[in-house]
Structure 1
Amino acid sequence: MTFRALVTDQIAGGGVASRVDALGESQLPAGDVLVSVDWAGLNYKDALCISGLGALVKTYPHVAGIDFAGRVVESSDARYHPGQAVVLTGWRVGELSWGGYAQRARVKADWLVPLPKRFSTRTAMMLGTAGLAAMLAVNRLQAEGLKAGDGEVLVTGAGGGVGSIAVLLLARLGYQVAAVTGRPERDEQLTRLGAHRIIARDELLKPSGKVLDKEVWAGAIDSVGGPLLGEVLKKIRHGGTVAAVGAAGGANWDASIIPFILRGISLSGIDTVMQPYEARVAAWDRLTTLFVPTAFEQVLTEAGLEDLPKLAKTMLAGGIAGRVIINPRDPPT
């Protein structure tokens, strides 16, 4: 049979272009499990892959999509059976191997996680890599001893996928959340998700010129990186932890060791790509107890394969808020 896929390929003169094409199952890469994809997500890495940026894709033609959810069609691995709902995030799927921007995907069984029965495949992609990252970040803060009542927890990039989910999860756990965003039009939505107060990104980005500022936040989840992270670290309370999730604002900042040795703060990196199977399962299981799909619909956008090239450009320009999920099944009418 043939199926629809967004195929990205190199073009004459340099660069890449993407188009929706019909492929056959024989064209899919090798793998243990064939999945019928119900939903995929749009992430910053996807936007880079579709645009031919970041040197993430090594061979062309390519099918991007770093996360997806669907049902098993066939499996040579005893852990999975036809009809079973599964979710995939990470393992450089959609970068080094073909991903979820297609009606079919063939992957290694070790890359999949059984979808918790309380989640539909659509709900799984409302979360996707962003939701997994947010849950792992919350888990890290709690493992470091941060408790509700210890003080405000900062979430940067709160208008994006990771940030908005982190706001919701922390609020559900009883934390007071200060949400940082450069999109004032999202203030009301973030408040409805549970933010205690909203901080303008430009306000936090103003460099103080000091190595230490007044202690403000008990902890933070940072999905931005760059100079913003540098300013955040100066304002974390003694013994606090910052969970670093993303680098949309850059990979570098003017750093000082002083906040770490005088206040004993910690900077913890959150990896979603190579996260062990057991940690993924635990995170997805915990998400079923905390995530409220109806509350998140307000920051959700649905799109199709044909929309992806334009959406990728918008995302790279900082114009995407919340989470975008992709329906590969239905062509435009």
Structure 2
Amino acid sequence: MNDKRYRALVAYEAADNTIQRRIEQKDIDSLPAGDVLIRVHYSSLNYKDALSASGNRGVTKQYPHTPGIDAAGIVVTSTDPAWQKGDPVICTGYDLGMNIAGGFGQYIRVPGSWLVRLPPGLTLLESMRLGTAGFTAAQCVWHLERNNITPDKGPVLVTGASGGVGTVAIVLLRAIGYKIIAVTGKPSEHAFLTGIGAHTVMSRKELLKDADKLLLPTRWHGVVDTVGGAFLAAAIKGTAFDGVVTCCGNASSSELALSVYPFILRGVHLIGVYSANCPMERRVRIWEKLAGEWKIDRLDTISRLVSLDHLEVEMKAMLAGKGKGRCVVDLGGAEDVS
């Protein structure tokens, strides 16, 4: 390589013990050891990234640090025989962006075992319009299908509907043929949610009505829950017989106050969805589905493309609960130096 310098967003601990952020010029030699060096073309912003960039020690233990749990780009060098220079790859999860320099830098170096080959039918940009949020949403839908929650069974409830996972879930579910009930705490987003595919939009207040009861009237057969807490509990209580609830977030709360009645009287199935350490076989299968039979043609309606310099604004909005849809970060892949 002719130039070993690259741009990255770095979170660092200032003299007053606060976490500050700035764009820096880094040296590729400073990257951690790994099998594969990748020129990142695109990344995406997830809630975990905003936490890492803010000094959350439960996410990132040491600073200075470059967040970004998602990256899509081109292999530059590799000591892993499975990967060759020029291969287009996706890297999401594992320890990327948490304790290993992540996708908010123009280069990453990671183990070859973390990589997924970009499947035919998907571009690098499209893969990051999905990112971890889209991959998580797709896993939720995969679990619904595996447990026979087909479109003819009835509607699927999506909580946190205007967020990254929620918006992808709505667009994907609609494309497959499901009816969707979207739950949001943002009245201003009702038109947006119906525009991307929700059949009904429900307020959080409506979902929590009579939530102190042990069971609620059945209104949906499947659930994609992204927020946890009281909203997840209410969603479970309103799920029909043999229904399936997928749980993938705790933005509201990590607590779940619930009796066993939905499970022993209605046979409701509660399935946890995890993405960071998802088995590689399933990881590849889900990405192939997103590139093929689950290909979403409307990703631009739920995502926006920003520069690394604009990321600060997006992170502040996300932490303030004002984020919407997916934020994709352009790392300037067209400027590759061979």
TM more than 0.5: yes
Mapping for residues 31-110 of structure 1, pairs under 5 Å: 31-110=34-113
Which region of structure 1 is more displaced relative to structure 2, 66-75 or 47-56? 47-56
Q: Distance in 1 between matches of 2:115 and 2:307?
A: 23
Partner of 2:267: 264
What do you get for the CA RMSD once the two structures are aligned? 1.3
Q: Which runs of 5+ in 1 are unaligned?
A: none
Partner of 1:290: 294
> What is the CA deviation profile of residues 234-263 of structure 1, one whole-angstrom value per residue up to 9, with x for unaligned ones?
100011110001111111132111111111
Partner of 2:258: 255
Mapping for residues 1-333 of structure 1, pairs under 5 Å: 1-288=4-291, 289-293=293-297, 295-329=298-332
> What is the CA deviation profile of residues 210-257 of structure 1, one whole-angstrom value per residue up to 9, with x for unaligned ones?
100111111111011111111111100011110001111111132111
> What is the CA deviation profile of residues 155-198 of structure 1, one whole-angstrom value per residue up to 9, with x for unaligned ones?
11111111111111111111111111122332233223221211
The answer to whether the 8 A contact 1:140-1:243 is kept is: yes
Aligned-residue offset at 1:207: 4.2
Q: Distance in 1 between matches of 2:59 and 2:296?
A: 33
Aligned-residue offset at 1:309: 2.8
Q: Distance in 2 between matches of 1:185 and 1:297?
A: 20
The answer to whether the 8 A contact 2:185-2:203 is kept is: yes
Q: Distance in 2 between matches of 1:246 and 1:164?
A: 14
Aligned-residue offset at 1:142: 1.1
Q: Distance in 2 between matches of 1:37 and 1:265?
A: 42
**Runs of 4+, deviation exceeding 3 Å:** none
Q: Distance in 2 between matches of 1:129 and 1:301?
A: 16
TM-score by length of 2: 0.94
Q: Distance in 2 between matches of 1:205 and 1:291?
A: 34
Equivalenced residues, count: 329
The answer to whether the 8 A contact 1:205-1:231 is kept is: yes
Equivalent position SS for 2:148: coil
Q: Which runs of 5+ in 2 are unaligned?
A: 334-338
> What is the CA deviation profile of residues 123-181 of structure 1, one whole-angstrom value per residue up to 9, with x for unaligned ones?
00000001110111101011111111101111111111111111111111111111111
Aligned-residue offset at 1:274: 0.6
Q: Distance in 2 between matches of 1:19 and 1:49?
A: 14
Equivalent position SS for 2:157: strand
The answer to whether the 8 A contact 2:183-2:201 is kept is: yes
Q: Distance in 1 between matches of 2:212 and 2:109?
A: 52
TM-score by length of 1: 0.96
The one-letter code matched in structure 1 to 2:61 is: K
Q: Distance in 2 between matches of 1:285 and 1:239?
A: 29
The one-letter code matched in structure 2 to 1:56 is: V
